[in-house]
């Protein structure tokens, strides 16, 4: 089939490359969001998908809303269907009717669970140990369309949302390709069944850790907010960013949020255990190994004065 690929962030680049590697269907063009200001100087920068598509020699269409002109540009590509991965724009019915085989979304959850912008992140924060992806035909609802195929990946070790998304986007190329095989063969999608839940976009506040909570809950939260918006706590009334944390068998010391040393490890006390800080980013500095930061704060640490709130 001739396909339009619609996507914007880096995770969509991974899926695009994986879809192209399958070689079963032809991507005739890319639809992505317009250039956006990036960095401190707010320089207008193409989306990751736009940049990669240009490198691959694919026609690129940039749009943030539907219009008659956009419809004409898409029709000019001759696409029969669209593969959608994190495009970031809601499509009106006239857009959904434009392509004969429809717009097929790769969504990173077991629909109808976790409908919305941050399904992997919310599933991890809820403590789920298996994360899914589903292909479905987009309709006018929020991730409510009928489904074609599904797969999953286990959560292991120090997996973060970024790690899981990368894996599912890579395997998602084959999942999309197989879905378009199904469509070409006349397979009809199945209506979603089961209990639905929502996965709204994360905010900075979602990354604020409360060390009065159990260690398992804190680890789940950190997994979900890494790499964006990132985990953090207040230290000396400023935001103190945290990389991935790790479980330990060391007994906690002091009150929740107190940071202490156990050998060469930097640990923080939670409600029921101690977690290891692997990397930290004090205000105004770059992310660094927690042990390097601890050397500079050794006196406060030894006096029990480092409390994360």
**Token pair 């994986």: residue:** 18
**Cβ proximity of 47 and 36 under 8 Å:** yes
281: helix, strand or coil: strand
Instruction: Report d(CA 239, CA 192) in Å as an integer.
Output: 42
pLDDT at 157: 81
End position of a domain, from candidates 126, 150, 184:
184
Do 166 and 57 sit in the same domain of this protein? Answer: yes
User: Whole domain around residue 58: which residue ranges?
Assistant: 2-184
CATH assignment at residue 228 = 3.10.25.10
Instruction: Report d(CA 249, CA 244) in Å as an integer.
Output: 17
Is residue 244 within a helix (H) or strand (E), and if so which, with residue range? none
Do 222 and 122 sit in the same domain of this protein? Answer: no
In a domain, 288, yes or no: yes
In a domain, 196, yes or no: no
What is the per-residue DSSP string for 221-232? HHHHHTTTT-EE
**Token pair 């669970």: residue:** 113
In a domain, 260, yes or no: yes
Q: Between β-strands 2-7 and 26-32, what pairing exists: parallel, antiparallel or unpaired?
A: parallel
Burial of 217 (0-12, 13-18, 19+ CB in 10 A): middle
CA 271: distance to chain centroid? Answer: 28
Do 173 and 277 sit in the same domain of this protein? Answer: no
**Cβ proximity of 3 and 80 under 8 Å:** yes
Angle at 48 between CA 46 and CA 54, to 5 degrees: 70
- Measured in degrees and rounded to the nearest 5, phi and psi for residue 226 equal -105, 125
pLDDT at 38: 84
Do 98 and 61 sit in the same domain of this protein? Answer: yes
Do 47 and 139 sit in the same domain of this protein? Answer: yes
What's the domain count of the chain?
A: 2
Burial of 20 (0-12, 13-18, 19+ CB in 10 A): middle
Instruction: Report d(CA 229, CA 214) in Å as an integer.
Output: 21
Burial of 225 (0-12, 13-18, 19+ CB in 10 A): buried
Do 297 and 231 sit in the same domain of this protein? Answer: yes
End position of a domain, from candidates 153, 184, 215:
184
Do 170 and 241 sit in the same domain of this protein? Answer: no
pLDDT at 297: 87
Put simply, whether the predicted model's pTM sits higher than 0.75 gets the answer yes
Q: Which residues of the chain have pLDDT under 70?
A: none
Do 144 and 109 sit in the same domain of this protein? Answer: yes
pLDDT at 303: 83
pLDDT at 5: 98
């Amino acid at each position: 089939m001739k396909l339009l690929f619609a996507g914007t962030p880096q995770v969509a680049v991974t899926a695009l490359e994986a879809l192209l590697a399958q070689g079963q269907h032809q991507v005739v063009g890319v639809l992505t969001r317009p250039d956006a200001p990036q960095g401190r100087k707010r320089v207008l920068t193409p989306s990751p998908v736009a940049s990669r598509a240009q490198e691959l020699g694919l026609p690129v269409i940039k749009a943030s809303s539907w219009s008659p002109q956009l419809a004409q540009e898409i029709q000019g590509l001759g696409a029969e269907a669209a593969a959608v991965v994190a495009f970031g724009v809601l499509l009106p019915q006239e857009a959904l009717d434009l392509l004969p085989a429809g717009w097929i979304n790769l969504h990173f959850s077991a629909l109808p669970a976790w409908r919305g912008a941050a399904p992997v992140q919310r599933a991890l924060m809820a403590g789920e140990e298996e994360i899914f992806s589903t292909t479905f035909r987009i309709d006018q609802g929020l991730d409510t369309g009928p489904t074609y195929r599904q797969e999953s990946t286990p959560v292991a070790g120090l997996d973060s949302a970024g790690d899981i998304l990368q894996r599912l986007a890579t395997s998602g190329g084959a999942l999309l390709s197989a879905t378009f095989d199904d469509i070409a063969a006349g397979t009809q999608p199945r209506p979603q069944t089961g209990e639905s839940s929502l996965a709204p976009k994360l905010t900075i506040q979602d990354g604020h850790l409360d060390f009065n909570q159990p260690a398992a809950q804190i680890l789940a939260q950190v997994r979900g907010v890494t790499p964006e918006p990132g985990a953090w706590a207040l230290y000396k009334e400023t935001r103190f960013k945290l990389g991935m944390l790790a479980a330990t068998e060391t007994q906690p010391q002091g009150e929740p949020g107190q940071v202490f040393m156990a050998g060469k490890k930097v640990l923080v006390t939670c409600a029921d255990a101690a977690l290891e800080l692997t990397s930290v980013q004090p205000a105004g500095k770059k992310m660094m190994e927690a042990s390097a930061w601890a050397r500079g704060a050794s006196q406060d640490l030894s006096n029990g004065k480092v409390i994360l709130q």
